[in-house]
Amino acid sequence: MPFSCLSAFLTMGTANPLRRKLSLSIITIIICALAFVALLYAERMSSFSSSAIFTFNSCARRNAAAGSKQKFSLFKERNVDSTGLNYGTDDRFEFDPDECSLVHGKWIFNRSIKPLYSDRTCPYLDRQVSCVKNGRLDSDYRHWEWQPDDCTLPRFDPKIALRKLKGKRLMFVGDSLQRGQWQSFVCLIESVIPEGLKSMKRGRLHSVFKAKEYDATVEFYWAPFLVESNSDLHIITDPKKRILKVDSVAKHAKHWIGVDILVFNTYVWWMSGLRIKSLWGSFANGEEGYQELDTTVSYTLGLKTWANWVDSNVNPNKTRVFFTTMSPSHQRSADWGNVNGTKCFNETKPITKKRHWGSGSDKRMMSVVASVVKRMKIPVTLINITQLSEYRIDGHTSVYTELGGKVLTDEEKADPLHYADCIHWCLPGVPDTWNQILYAHLL
Ligand SMILES: *[C@@H]1O[C@H](CO)[C@@H](O)[C@H](O)[C@H]1NC(C)=O
Ligand SMILES: *[C@@H]1O[C@H](CO)[C@@H](O)[C@H](O)[C@H]1NC(C)=O
Ligand SMILES: *[C@@H]1O[C@H](CO)[C@@H](O)[C@H](O)[C@H]1NC(C)=O
Ligand SMILES: *[C@@H]1O[C@H](CO)[C@@H](O)[C@H](O)[C@H]1NC(C)=O
Ligand SMILES: *[C@@H]1O[C@H](CO)[C@@H](O)[C@H](O)[C@H]1NC(C)=O
């Protein structure tokens, strides 16, 4: 809360000179209390979207932008190795994070593009995402390339990526989709590292891939809500029994300290109902002190807790922070006009309709991310994968996945309505493109 409370004070308090006579802290506390109550009882975030608690102090923003410029130069080497980075034959310029948005573009089919790994060559993939091993026969989904409208996206070069990571820790933090992005990243780089010079240690919460020669690690930390919940380590399958501690993140965050590149996500776990049991502060009766909040309200509180941790613990001279936006699910084939389809089952081509947006991506949740990140002191680079992934109904694991540690049986595969997974993605596949974007930002 402190950041927004300060903004509330700035917009509501400074106009009247008499107010200055009052102690700043008293006004802040009163306004914070009012804002908090308003937040808790608001029907929808949008009902006060332009109200004071979300008004931003523009000076702080300008400072953040200046910081971001500095940070980019910090990570850009003087002699940029430009070998083979630009494959384009058109007049689009090479990707520059300050000049080009990667959000809009199209998928181009090119059979001569081969993924840098397969689920047979990369030993680190979970069975859950190893679609070919699990029986997927069509292969077109592995040959699409994201082409932004305004620039060319450099291809992922594992050797350059490793050089950028030299002496550094890269950590993905979030849910199972983030775990997919982590495994994709590991597989993209691991084939150029000789046997004996790499290692993998998997843990329930924290997993570490090491590239010894480069003194680099690519890590994953499991925190599906980023904030703490009673369902982090021992997953509670009934969403109604999950309770989120929307103001607590320290237990997870202590593992993020000292990391050089942090990549966060959180979305899909919040989408299990209209309301979420949320807990903050400490209550004498412990978990019974929760209150059911609208999903977007709870998400706002959780993300602000995360943002506050980042703002107070991350040194922007040392650490870069990224946030991967929501990964769309494709549960309703009517969204893309396939009225007789079953979820994403049997889809083999991306949607071509420009700006297609389905029911699996909640715009209100997206705007929460945008407004929280915009108000942060530490610059956070968004890896905005939502639109490009929206097109990729063909990229999900569908029935080529596992359930309870076992690959689906033929009977289960024949029942896509119940068994097709249209949330997770095959690897190699769409998350490789998310990492291509991350890679482009690291160059
Ligand atoms: C397809 O990919 C190959 C290999 O990267 C490249 O040489 C070729 O220009 C691409 N074709 C098109 C149409 O983009
Ligand atoms: C980051 O670097 C700038 C310029 O070198 C310096 O002024 C600033 O104090 C540093 N910030 C931190 C948190 O170390
Ligand atoms: C959907 O199925 C119905 C009934 O089997 C059929 O009449 C209709 O033509 C199908 N629609 C499309 C778009 O395939
Ligand atoms: C899946 O697609 C294949 C090829 O287009 C088709 O032959 C098959 O009937 C489809 N299966 C279902 C259940 O729609
Ligand atoms: C990501 O891109 C979409 C457009 O596809 C945009 O609507 C959304 O606001 C962007 N998300 C954020 C957090 O900026």
DSSP 188-256: HHHTTSPTTSEEEE--SSEEEEEEGGGTEEEEEEE-TTSSEETTSSS--S-GGG-EEETT--HHHHTTT
Mutate to test the pocket of ligand 5, among 373, 387, 392, 437 (most ligand atoms within 8 A of CB): 387
Q: How far apart, in whole angstroms, are the C-alpha atoms of residue 36 and residue 30?
A: 10
Instruction: Identify which ligand lies nearest to the alpha carbon of 63.
Output: 2
Residue 104 Cα: closest atom of ligand 5? 5
Q: How far apart, in whole angstroms, are the C-alpha atoms of residue 206 and residue 9?
A: 40
CA of 214 to the centre of ligand 4 (A): 47
Instruction: Identify which ligand lies nearest to the alpha carbon of 137.
Output: 4
Q: How far apart, in whole angstroms, are the C-alpha atoms of residue 228 and residue 263?
A: 18
Q: How far apart, in whole angstroms, are the C-alpha atoms of residue 33 and residue 107?
A: 48
Residue 155 Cα: closest atom of ligand 1? 5
Q: How far apart, in whole angstroms, are the C-alpha atoms of residue 217 and residue 199?
A: 9
339 CB within 6 A, ligand 3: yes
pLDDT score recorded for residue 295: 93
Query: Does residue 278 sit in helix, strand or coil?
Result: strand
- Residues of the chain with pLDDT below 70 are 1-92, 283-285
DSSP state of 123: T
Decide if 360 contacts 330 (C-beta within 8 A): yes
Whether 421 is a known active-site residue: answer yes
| Catalytic-role residue among 175, 232, 335, 421 | 421
Decide if 428 contacts 116 (C-beta within 8 A): yes
pLDDT score recorded for residue 110: 95
CA of 191 to the centre of ligand 1 (A): 22
Amino acid present at 377: K
Mutate to test the pocket of ligand 1, among 110, 113, 147 (most ligand atoms within 8 A of CB): 110
pLDDT score recorded for residue 92: 66
Atom 13 (ligand 5): residue with closest C-alpha?
370
Atom 9 (ligand 1): residue with closest C-alpha?
87
How many residues are present in the chain? 443
Query: Does residue 264 sit in helix, strand or coil?
Result: strand
Q: How far apart, in whole angstroms, are the C-alpha atoms of residue 186 and residue 200?
A: 10
73 CB within 6 A, ligand 2: no
329 CB within 6 A, ligand 5: no
Angle at 116 between CA 409 and CA 185, to 5 degrees: 80
Decide if 239 contacts 272 (C-beta within 8 A): yes
pTM over 0.85: no
CA of 180 to the centre of ligand 2 (A): 34
Decide if 187 contacts 232 (C-beta within 8 A): no
Mutate to test the pocket of ligand 2, among 317, 318, 377 (most ligand atoms within 8 A of CB): 317
| Catalytic-role residue among 51, 176, 367, 371 | 176
315 CB within 6 A, ligand 2: yes
Residues 6+ apart with CB under 8 A from 372: 300, 303, 304, 307
Residue 339 Cα: closest atom of ligand 3? 13
CA of 110 to the centre of ligand 1 (A): 6
Whether 238 is a known active-site residue: answer no
pLDDT score recorded for residue 91: 59
Mutate to test the pocket of ligand 1, among 106, 107, 108, 112 (most ligand atoms within 8 A of CB): 112
pLDDT score recorded for residue 90: 54
